Structure 1
C-alpha cells in the first residue's frame, strides 16, 4: 500500500511539472507583433530555462533560440519581432540548462506563424539567424540546444555598446 501511495505521489509531481499553456493548438502568430508564451510551473522546476522556437518542417527540425535564461517564476514571456519563415508546423520548447535539471522540460502545442518579424540591419550588413537543423539538443547529455540567436536579440549583439550610444547622439542632434 505504501508503494502505491509513493508511486501516485511521484506521478502527480511529474505530471504537474513545467507545462507550456500558450500558444494553443493552431494559434495564429504574427511574429512582427508581440506574442505571449505562457507556462505553469511547480517549485521543483529549475529557476531558469531556455526557450526555443522549433519549426517541425519536412526534412528536419529548425530550432531558433528565443532566450537562454527565462525566469520560471515569471509564468510568461513576451516575444516581439522574431524572424522565422511563415508555416503551420511550429512549437515552443523549454530546455533545462542546470546540471541536475537539463534536457527538454516541456513543449507547446503546434501553432501557425503567419508573418515573420524583420531582421535588424546595420550599415555593415544584416543581422539574421542561421538556424540549426538537428532539432535535438547540442549534446547527447540532454543539454539545451545552442542555436544561433535571432533578430529578437541581434540588436544588442550587432550594435554592442555603439547602438545605445548612437541612439543618444541621434536624440541630441
Structure 2
C-alpha cells in the first residue's frame, strides 16, 4: 500500500504545472509580444507569480513579469518587457499559496535578442506592460511598473537611473 501511495505522489508531481513555451533555444524579441504557455493539473495553486530569470549573473537575477497569474488561463502575453539581450534566460513560476509555496516550474532556457523599451508616464517613472489572455487581467499595474525599474537597475546598475535624475536636473 505504501508503494502505491508513493507512486501516486510521484505521478502527481510529474504532471504538475509545466511550461510549454518558451521552448529550448527559442529567440524572443521583448519589444514585441511574446506568449508564455503552460499546462496544469487540479492540484496546482489557482494563482502564481511569473518571473524572468537571468542565468548569466551570479547570483541569478529575477525580474517579476506578473505578481498574480490565473493558472487556469494556460498562457500569459508579455508586451514590451525590459531586459538585456542574453542567451541564458528562463521563466519561473512561484506559488503564492501559503501551504504550497516555492517554485512550481521552470521553462527551457531561451535567448532574448532585443529588449523592450521603458515607457514613461512621467519624466521619472519607467514602466512596461504585460497582459493575461482571457477576459480579465490578474496583473497589477504596480507589478509591471516595478519590472521596468528593476530591469533598468539590473541593466545599468545605479548609474542608469542616476544619469536620468541628473539629466532632468540640468
Question: Shorter-chain-normalised TM-score: which range?
Answer: 0.7 to 0.9
Structure 1 match to 2:5: 6
Structure 1 match to 2:154: none
Distance 1:95 1:115 in 2: 25
Structure 1 match to 2:147: 150
Distance 2:122 2:4 in 1: 64
Aligned residues: 135
TM-score normalized with structure 1 length: 0.72
TM-score normalized with structure 2 length: 0.74
Structure 1 match to 2:162: none
Moved over 4 A (4+): none
Distance 1:57 1:86 in 2: 11
Structure 2 match to 1:55: 54
Structure 1 match to 2:89: 90
**Contact 1:64/1:147 (8 A) holds in 2:** no
Structure 1 residue 38 displacement after superposition: 0.5
Q: Pick the structure with greater CA Rg.
A: 1
Unaligned runs of 5+ residues in structure 2 are 129-142, 150-170
Structure 1 match to 2:45: 46
* SS across alignment from 2:23: coil
Unaligned runs of 5+ residues in structure 1 are 130-145, 153-173
Structure 1 residue 150 displacement after superposition: 1.8
* SS across alignment from 2:146: coil
Structure 2 match to 1:79: 78
Matched, 1:99 2:79: no
Distance 1:51 1:115 in 2: 20
Distance 1:147 1:30 in 2: 18
Distance 2:33 2:122 in 1: 26
Structure 1 residue 149 displacement after superposition: 2.1
- Supply the RMSD in Å over aligned alpha carbons: 2.1
**Contact 1:119/1:126 (8 A) holds in 2:** no
Structure 1 residue 116 displacement after superposition: 0.3
Structure 1 match to 2:153: none
Structure 1 residue 60 displacement after superposition: 2.2
